[in-house]
Amino acid sequence: MTVYHGSITEYLASRNNISQRKAMDIYYKSRLSEQIQAGQYGIENMDYKYLAEDLIDNEPELFAD
């Protein structure tokens, strides 16, 4: 399984009741995005929901208005 960035951003938007555009902005500013792109820790093979929840838990500053 390979993570599709769109799946993560769609989940973030739905889960946090934010626009898709805001979700994309959050995702592309995150350490998670950098790690997936770099192929670090094999996380590109993890479930997108797990990764989105990890982003919410570990980078809450990105969700502040």
- pLDDT tens track for 1-36: 556 678 999 999 999 999 999 999 999 999 999 998
| Total-model pTM | 0.87
What is the residue whose two structure tokens read 């979700």?
23
Question: Helix count (H) and strand count (E) of the chain?
Answer: 4, 0
State the maximum Cα–Cα separation within the chain, in Å, rounded to a whole number. Answer: 33
Give the model's pLDDT for residue 3.
64
Give Cα 42 distance to the centre of its chain: 15
Lowest-confidence region among 29-33, 43-47, 53-57: 43-47
